[in-house]
Amino acid sequence: MCPAKIADGGERGFVIPIGGAEERIDDPVILQRFVELCGGSDANIVIIPTASQLEETGPNYEVVFAELGVANAVSLPITTREDAQREDYVEELAKATGIFITGGNQLRLSTILGGTPVAQSIRKLNAAGVHVAGTSAGAAIMPEHMIAGGASGSLPNEQGVIFAPGLGLLSKVILDQHFSQRNRLGRLLSAVSYNPFASGLGICEDTAAFIGPDNVLEVVGSGNVTVVDPSDLQHSSMAEARSQESITLIGLKLHMLSSGARYCLNTREASPE
């Protein structure tokens, strides 16, 4: 699923994948930045807690956003595909200046939301200028191709990653979350080596990539975003690799970006600020 079409003269909203475990109390720089983008005290934030099976997840984020000064933050308790077709939920989304997708299980997100009016609305609203942030599973589902699973470890191999269709807010990246904390470099390398058309983003916990309408991302938070750039890839042995066999990748670029650093998804150029 590709990103929704942007109207002539329009500009899509920010897409903000967060690596999970974002700070919510002491120094919530990521969520504060998201709130400011969405209008500050005038923001209208809709929370999608579908990935989580904990009933308190949505209400907890309502409190977090209220403490950040948001006048209106509402959680939509979407737990079934029937819920994701409710007209009142679609109408609530239409009022949003920002949409926040919580963590949990990304396959729960994709199987409940995929192809529904709620999913279609999120894509169309982002194309119309509404900002969409997601943490952990909520980040994983953002690209066209979603990493649904795979083994931890630093080495890529033939069975290193499992894909599923994502929400389609991003078409030029493949991303993974909880990146350094769960040692996921190998599966991101595996993902990129299958078809090196897209940059790979590995996002640490309490770290976000604020991807603007110009497709330039800025890193915000306490950790790093690891960028795997396959634009100069000279050789991949993925097609010949046997089950569980390590693979050869020659010519990859690797960038380690901390807070304030930038990367352009169009030109694949990184800069320290």
Half-sphere exposure of 23 (CA within 13 A, CB side): 14
Find out whether 123 and 90 touch, Cβ atoms under 8 Å.
no
Q: How many other C-beta atoms lie within 10 A of the C-beta of residue 63? A: 12
Concerning whether 23 is annotated as a catalytic residue, the answer is no
Q: Which of 136, 190, 193, 199 is catalytic?
A: 136
Tokens of 126: 């982002």
Give me the count of residues in the chain: 273
Q: Which of 75, 131, 145, 178 is catalytic?
A: 178
- Domain locations in the chain? 15-271
Respond yes or no: is residue 205 known to be catalytic.
yes
In 3-state terms the chain splits into helix, strand, coil percentages (rounded to 5) of 25, 25, 45
CATH second-level architecture of 15-271?
A: 3-Layer(aba) Sandwich (3.40)
Q: Is the pTM of this model over 0.85?
A: yes
DSSP 143: B
Tell me what pLDDT residue 121 has.
98
Whether the predicted pLDDT of 10 surpasses 80: yes
Q: Report CA 188 to chain centroid distance, whole Å.
A: 14
269 is catalytic: no
Which member of 205, 218, 236, 255 is catalytic? Answer: 205
d(CA 161, CA 189): 9
| CA dihedral of residues 214, 215, 221, 222 (deg, nearest 10) | -140
Give residue-wise pLDDT tens across range 149-186. 998 999 998 888 999 999 999 999 999 999 999 999 99
pLDDT average, residue stretch 66-83: 98
Give the pLDDT confidence score for residue 101 in this predicted structure: 98
The DSSP bridge partners found for residue 146 are 164
pLDDT in tens, 201-216: 999 999 999 999 999 9
